[in-house]
Amino acid sequence: CGPTVYNYPHIGNMRAYVFADTLGRVLSFKGYRLTHVINITDVGHLTDDADAGEDKLEKAAAKEARSIWDIARHYTQAYWADVKALNIRQPAHWSIATDYVPQMIEFAQSIAADHCYELDSGLYFDTSTVADYGRLARADTQEGEGRIEAVEGKRHAADFAIWRKTPPGEKRQMEWDSPWGKGAPGWHLECSVMSRALLGLPFDIHTGGIDHREIHHPNEIAQNQAIAHTHGLDCAENSGARLWMHNNFLIDRSGKMSKSSGEFLRLQLLIDKGFHPLAYRMMCLQAHYRSELEFSWENLAAALTRLKRMVMAVDRLVDSCHGSSPSQQAWHQNVLGLVDVFDKSISDDLNSPLALTAFEDLLTLKKVSPHHKVEAIYKLDEVLGFGLQGLMRSDLRIRPKSATITEAEIEAALDRRQDARAGKDFATSDAIRDELAGQGVEVMDGDPLRWEWKLDVA
Ligand code: AMP
Ligand code: ZN
């Protein structure tokens, strides 16, 4: 399940794609051939997952006084920029919901007689017509789970719209003719239709954030059961996918992940504050995908430091390869041992925190050929997705947007300070240091990472 493109994704949303990307990378590493599909929801997702509220895109378009198509294009591109910045690999297909409306109507038509009923507001899926509805959520979805009987006439609280009719007298920007009148598809229908069209049901793995486990995915499963004429979920394949995997949430206690807040936690904000986007990827990998992850600037700074250390260790390793020819022998036993620990960890329900430790142990492993180490590091980095082969130390120092001083000016001041110190003129040296501090530059004498200076990102 991909994004609903009515606004910029927040970094919590991006955790879902880092997770799916890591899973894909692990599958490739293990020798599987991967066909990854990410769908883009540009119609049908309501402001409330349980069928209440307005279409998110219609609402955004009205607010920004732009066409829906404009809104969808703009935010899809913003999402793709984040995908690229986080080294998320391109899927085999990006499926755009509005490209599949005829197939959605066809799908709805073929399950309508046995599984749906029509109300004035649309065509609804009767969840009592499939066995085990809501089993994925492990909850009694009829009873509560925050559901409100938002639509008059629904037979069961959990029933959901698969086609939403345009109310009489209204005109929606996005509407299509259908056997149930002009209207738009329901959000859940899109995912069943696109996955069926591109992958075929059942396919292997369906991913999404943990919130989808409660409503969206149980509804997809119900539709998949209906189209396949399967009844109970005694066999996992009957749900449409053999495995359903959900990432837990990124939590932000400051409330800045709400898209309505002023300083909204999107990837660009992190970059504006001087953090390399891959520091966020590191932050995600440091936690297990099924655990909640709490966002804080301190955690992000720690993740950036860890990434810097890796980049520098790889730099040193590459340096030490110069002047010696690659060994023709098989990788040293200790290298193989750590690769094995990495493999076992990442293969155990994606234990990325443990895999990261094995990766770092490999970087600091003593008394083995640096060539073997570099080869192994690059191979495992394909799984972690940092792109260490092309990531330079200098890439990791990003000028915060608020910085008024240029790198050249900082370097020049540091040269003057170096001269002063060489001449034992400590008063001048201290004055230059204070002057830089006044411009938000912290001089870091004796920094073990040899970073020398950093821009204050507060
Ligand atoms: P949406 O664009 O709202 O459909 O959400 C895109 C993806 O982000 C979905 O898979 C959601 O489950 C997931 N998601 C939403 N909020 C968070 C969060 N705070 N942390 C992690 N994943 C999230
Ligand atoms: Zn979906």
Does ligand 1 have an atom closer than 6 angstroms to the CB of 207?
no
pLDDT at 120 over 90: yes
* 343 alpha carbon – ligand 2 mean position (Å): 30
| Centroid of ligand 1 to alpha carbon of 31 (angstroms) | 29
Average pLDDT estimate for 197-225: 96
* Atom 19 in ligand 1: residue holding the nearest Cα: 12
Q: Percent of the chain having pLDDT more than 70?
A: 94
Q: How confident is the model at residue 49 (pLDDT cuts 50, 70, 90)?
A: low
Q: Is 250 in the pocket of ligand 1 (CB under 6 A)?
A: yes
pLDDT level of residue 451 (50, 70, 90 thresholds): confident
> Which amino acid would we find at residue 332?
H
340 vs 152, more confident: 340
pLDDT of the residue at 142: 54
Helix or strand run (H / E) with residue 196 = helix 187-198
Instruction: Check residue 170 and give its pLDDT.
Output: 87
Q: Please name the residue whose Cα sits nearest to atom 11 of ligand 1.
A: 209
**Could you please report the per-residue DSSP string of 346-361?**
HHTT--HHHHHHHHHH
145 confidence band (pLDDT: 50, 70, 90):
very low
- For residue 162, give Cα distances in angstroms to 51, 140, 186, 368: 10, 21, 4, 60
Q: Is the CB of 211 under 6 A from ligand 1?
A: yes
Model pLDDT for residues 269-300, shown as the tens digit of each residue: 999 999 999 999 999 999 999 999 999 999 99
User: Across 289-440, where does the E strand assignment appear?
Assistant: 293-294
Residue 289, number of CB atoms within 10 A of its CB: 24
Q: For residue 94, give the nearest of 16, 231, 230, 2 by alpha carbon.
A: 2
Higher-scoring residue by pLDDT: 455, 364: 364
What was the pLDDT predicted at 443?
A: 87
Residue 64 has pLDDT above 90, yes or no: no
217 C-alpha vs ligand 2 centroid, how far in Å?
A: 7
The pLDDT value recorded for residue 144 is 41
Q: Is the CB of 259 under 6 A from ligand 1?
A: no
If you take atom 7 of ligand 1, which residue's CA is the nearest one? 13
* Cα(3) to centroid(ligand 2), Å: 9
Residues sharing a CB contact under 8 Å with residue 435, sequence separation 6 or more, in sequence order: 413
Q: Quick check: CB of 1 below 6 Å from ligand 1? A: yes
Ligand 1 atom closest to 41 (CA): 4
Ligand 1 centre to CA of 164 (Å) is 23
- The pLDDT score that the predictor gives to residue 240 is 95
Q: Give me the mean pLDDT over the 131-137 stretch.
A: 89
What's the Cα-to-Cα distance from 319 to each of 369, 382, 396, 431, 454, rounded to whole Å?
12, 21, 19, 36, 25
Ligand closest to CA 2: 1
Backbone angles phi, psi at 443, to 5 degrees: -85, 130
Lowest mean pLDDT: which of 15-29, 119-133, 146-160? 146-160
pLDDT at 139: 61
Q: What is the mean pLDDT of residues 177-183?
A: 96
Query: Full-prediction pTM beyond 0.85?
Result: yes
Closest C-alpha among 199, 212, 205 to residue 134: 212
For ion ligand 2, residues whose CB falls within 5 Å: 1, 191
Pairing of the two strands 122-125 and 116-119: antiparallel
**Ligand 1 midpoint to CA 390 (Å):** 30
Q: What does the pLDDT read at residue 45?
A: 73
218 lines ligand 1 (CB under 6 A): no
Pocket test for ligand 1, best of 13, 264, 266, 292 (most atoms within 8 A of CB): 13
Please tell me if the CB atom of residue 287 comes closer than 6 angstroms to any atom of ligand 1. Answer: no
| pLDDT at residue 397 is higher than 90 | no
Ranges 37-51, 114-128, 205-219, 407-421: which has the least confidence: 37-51
Mean pLDDT of the chain: 91
Distance 37 CA to ligand 2 centre (A): 11
> Is the pLDDT score of 217 beyond 70?
yes
Torsion-angle region of 394 (φ positive above 0: left; ψ -120 to 50: alpha; else: beta):
alpha
